[in-house]
Amino acid sequence: MPSYEHAGFFVGFGSTLRNNLKFDDSLKILNEGVESFPNYPALKVFKAFTLYSLGQFQSSTKILFDSIDQMPEKAFDGYERAIKWYVENLETHPEIKK
């Protein structure tokens, strides 16, 4: 399996855990992904979403801005639509810890 597919596993699994309100598990998986694939920006963005859900707004924002600053063209490998949805709906998740 190509490495980008391995990175995509971490994005998908971490995102699924977040959507199922398992924020700590999501963060653990996404941290593993970022450690294994530090140059895969989608992992960092989804990690930022999880941190946001945990109420860690400053950390979340820093990761997002750092990711954008380092982003090559087509960096999100097809996750653009999901990222756009999350950005537009960050405040609507019923279990976000504020």
Query: Could you report the per-residue pLDDT of 84-93, keeping only the tens digit for each?
Result: 777 777 666 6
- Cα-Cα-Cα-Cα dihedral sign, residues 91, 86, 9, 16: positive
pLDDT above 90 for 4: no
Instruction: Give me the pLDDT at residue 41, please.
Output: 85
pLDDT at 78: 77
Query: What is the chain's alpha carbon radius of gyration, rounded to the nearest angstrom?
Result: 12
Q: Please name each of the domains of the chain with its CATH number.
A: 3-92 (1.25.40.10)
Q: What is the pLDDT of residue 90?
A: 67
pLDDT computed for residue 44 by the predictor = 93
What pLDDT, in 10s, does the model give residues 11-59?
A: 999 999 999 999 999 999 999 999 999 988 889 999 999 999 999 988 8
